[in-house]
Amino acid sequence: MTSTDLHERFKKLSEPLEPIDTKTISTLRELNDIRIITYDFYGTLFISGVGDIGIDDGHANADLLTETLENSGIEILDKSAGSAGFKVYNQVVDEHIQSLKKDGIEYPEPDIRTVWKYVLDELESEGLIKYSNRESLPDIVSVEFEARMNPVWPMEDAVDTLTFFKERGLTQGIISNSQFYTPIVLEALTGHTLDDLGFEKKLLHWSFEENLKKPGLQFYRDFIDKLNDYDQNLSPANVLYVGNDMLKDVYPAHHFGMKTALFAGDKRSLKWREDDDRCKDILPDLIITSLSQLKECVKL
């Protein structure tokens, strides 16, 4: 199955979502010397049905897994395959995370395709399923599962805001907990390529590629390294980072000297983290309830 096929599956399996009002009052001001805007993806650029992403998050169940397997072209030989797959999935995810933590990674992010390969191999060895197309099957199962577990849809003003800044020559990037299908779903549901939307390829920082994720500081430190490689004349103070989570987004970005905007546009994803000591003494530079508000805050 090609990338184009995966695009089409996301289109077929996705339905529009509307943000849920957070009753938050925006805090806006003009920011100078911003040369790069970077965004979180799930819960910020895109509405997330579960409010976030993580291979150890969400609300999977046996029926969902059975539906995923069937729609991935897998023959189910035993009706217990769904419940068995759910158990194996959780076990494999935990094993991969614990293995990476033993390597010193505080907040690891395994590649979901590797997880699904192990799950499918185990279910086949137990005689519960039968399948072919082995090379691309983990990709297919990943997309079928994700689209059901975590439905997503672009924020209503995301494309307009991104193209507004692109047309005015402002560089844009992404720092996101993600999987291989994240850029695929972005392009599939917006109808635009990453380049069309003004994203600089060198500043796309996906957790699945790094095996690290938020709120780990190392994940953000590695982005700063990318920033320096991209342009040594830039500093973190020239970057505005936009995210919906005080712990995963604002805290680490603030730690490294970036300007920050808390996106408070959807109740599903807004996280104040008031009980977390890391967030108690931090205030974002902006609190926005729509992405379009960035237009009036970033002085060009």
Q: Who has greater pLDDT, 3 or 87?
A: 87
pLDDT single digits (tens) 91-142: 998 998 999 899 888 998 889 999 999 999 999 999 999 998 788 999 999 9
Task: Say if residue 285's pLDDT is above 50.
Answer: yes
pLDDT value of position 146: 93
CB atoms within 10 A of CB 168: 11
Q: Is 154 helix (H, G, I), strand (E, B) or coil?
A: strand
Token pair 């508000």 is at which residue?
A: 293
The rounded distance, in Å, linking the Cα atoms of 24 and 121 is 47
Does residue 35 carry a pLDDT above 90?
yes
| Shared domain check, 213 and 126 | no
Q: What is the pLDDT of residues 139-189, one digit of tens each?
A: 999 999 999 999 999 999 999 999 999 999 999 999 999 999 999 999 999
Cα dihedral 139, 145, 147, 148, rounded to 10, equals 170
What is residue 63's predicted lDDT score, i.e. its pLDDT? 84
Res. 195: pLDDT tops 70: yes
Assess if residue 56 is contained within a domain: no
CATH number, residue 226: 3.40.50.1000
Q: Which of 100, 130, 149 is the last residue of a domain?
A: 149
Q: What does the CA dihedral 138, 226, 150, 211 come to, rounded to 10 degrees?
A: 50
Containing structural domain, residue 131: 62-149
CA 256 to chain centre: 21
> Same domain, yes or no, for 119 and 232?
no
What is the structure's pLDDT at 164? 98
Same domain, 40 and 76: no
Is residue 55 domain-resident?
A: no
- Cβ-count burial 70-88 (b if 16+ within 10 Å, e if not): ebbebebeeeebbebbbeb
Name the domain boundary from 83, 116, 149. 149
Residue type for position 200: E
* CB-based contacts of 270, cutoff 8 Å, min separation 6: 22, 24, 43, 244, 245, 262, 263, 264
Q: How far is CA 208 from the centre of its chain?
A: 9
Number of domains in the chain: 2
Angle between helices 137-149 and 181-190 (to 10 degrees): 60
| pLDDT tens track for 239-284 | 999 999 999 999 999 999 999 999 999 999 999 999 999 999 999 9
Q: Final residue of a domain: which of 84, 114, 149? A: 149
